């Protein structure tokens, strides 16, 4: 080999090595760039991961909070359900009480007290050989028996000033009532004490009467009727007789009728009389006296002067003539 050929060969080798070195450097640079990029990606991933960790932590906290709130809501719902049940039970109880009260309202009558007094016609105060009446006060009447030969004792009808009027829009049965104490007067052999107590229909003028005398005790539906209901009750001086009028509640006016009943010494006697006339709006208390006096009680002040009959316990009567 010549010297010139040897130089060319060395030059080629150097050139080749130089190219390889440049190529290696380029590859190294590329790898360094890729490494830097991967580092940046790793940093970004760590950052993203940290953010995700925070989000996961927040999600866990929120989830736990939601669970707790849900538990609280469940407790509230359970509490509400218990309260609703209590309210429902209380409502049912109140409804039951109202039904009982309504049934009681249908069983018992409510007393309606009104101020009243007797009105005696002036011609009743006559002493010309006849028995006559003297009004002692608003409620008490004295009968003066005839003691003159040739005279006679009359029957005297006395009415109260005020009427028992049909209540309007009343939700319960209504009760009007009055009592009289029957007082015998000393009388000659030809006369006997005789008493009637009752109510007069202010429209038809018919009298519903309970008549008490030595011969018989009878209840008349009206003074024009021959039909009388005899009672076997025994009467005595100072007995207390009462007369009551009961009106049905407004919602039962179409199915029930007003009725009249009588009492003796605080107890109902006989049966009630059902009133089926067209006009039942007003009734007036009255009495008929013969050789007897009376002390009345219209119930204007039951605290100081109570009835013998307990009007607060009057059950609506079911037996009628």
Mind listing the pLDDT tens digit for each residue in 8-27? 777 777 777 778 778 887 87
In the predicted structure, residue 152 carries a pLDDT above the cut 80: no
- Give residue 188's pLDDT band: very low, low, confident or very high (50, 70, 90): low
Whole-angstrom distance, CA of residue 13 vs CA of residue 270: 153
- pLDDT winner (highest mean) among 6-10, 118-122, 126-130, 165-169: 165-169
Of all helices (H) and strands (E), which one includes residue 261?
Answer: strand 259-264
- Better pLDDT: 154 or 319: 319
Whole-angstrom distance, CA of residue 291 vs CA of residue 288: 10
Which CATH superfamily, name and number, covers 110-313? SPRY domain (2.60.120.920)
Query: Mean pLDDT over all residues of the chain?
Result: 82
Across the range 286-313, mean pLDDT stands at 93
Whole-angstrom distance, CA of residue 175 vs CA of residue 260: 10
Q: What is the pLDDT of residue 78?
A: 79
Domain parsing of the chain, residue ranges = 10-107, 110-313
In the predicted structure, residue 1 carries a pLDDT above the cut 70: no
In the predicted structure, residue 174 carries a pLDDT above the cut 90: yes
Whole-angstrom distance, CA of residue 17 vs CA of residue 298: 145
How far is CA 66 from its chain centroid?
48
In the predicted structure, residue 185 carries a pLDDT above the cut 70: yes
In the predicted structure, residue 3 carries a pLDDT above the cut 60: no
Q: How far apart are the first and last CA of the chain?
A: 167
Q: pLDDT tens digits, residue range 55-91?
A: 888 888 887 888 787 777 777 777 777 888 887 788 7
Whole-angstrom distance, CA of residue 83 vs CA of residue 1: 117
- Better pLDDT: 276 or 112: 112
How many Cβ atoms are within 10 Å of 314's Cβ, its own excluded? 21
């Amino acid at each position: 080999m010549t010297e010139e050929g040897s130089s060319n060969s060395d030059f080629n080798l150097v050139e080749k090595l130089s190219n390889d070195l440049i190529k290696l450097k380029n590859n190294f640079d590329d790898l360094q760039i890729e490494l830097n990029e991967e580092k940046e990606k790793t940093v970004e991933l760590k950052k993203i991961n940290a953010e995700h960790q925070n989000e996961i932590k927040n999600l866990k906290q929120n989830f736990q909070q939601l669970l707790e709130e849900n538990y609280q809501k469940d407790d509230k719902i359970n509490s509400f359900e218990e309260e609703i049940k209590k309210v429902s039970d209380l409502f049912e109880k109140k409804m039951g009480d109202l039904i009982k009260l309504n049934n009681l309202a249908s069983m018992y009558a409510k007393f309606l007290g009104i101020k009243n007094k007797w009105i005696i016609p002036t011609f009743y105060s006559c002493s010309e050989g006849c028995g006559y009446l003297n009004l002692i006060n608003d409620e008490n009447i004295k009968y003066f028996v005839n003691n003159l030969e040739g005279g006679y004792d009359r029957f005297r009808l006395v009415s109260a000033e005020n009427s028992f009027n049909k209540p309007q829009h009343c939700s319960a049965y209504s009760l009007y009532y009055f009592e009289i104490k029957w007082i015998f007067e000393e009388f000659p052999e030809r006369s006997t004490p005789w008493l009637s107590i009752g109510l007069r229909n202010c429209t038809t003028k018919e009298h519903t009467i309970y008549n008490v005398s030595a011969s018989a005790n009878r209840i008349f539906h009206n003074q024009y009727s021959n039909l009388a209901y005899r009672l076997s009750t025994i009467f005595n001086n100072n007995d207390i007789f009462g007369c009551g009028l009961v009106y049905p509640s407004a919602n039962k006016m179409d199915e029930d009728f007003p009725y009249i009943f009588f009492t003796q010494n605080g107890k109902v006697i006989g049966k009630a009389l059902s009133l089926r006339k067209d006009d039942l709006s007003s009734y007036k208390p009255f009495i008929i006296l013969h050789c007897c006096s009376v002390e009345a009680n219209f119930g204007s002040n039951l605290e100081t002067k109570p009835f013998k009959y307990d009007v607060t316990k009057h059950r609506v009567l079911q037996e009628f003539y």
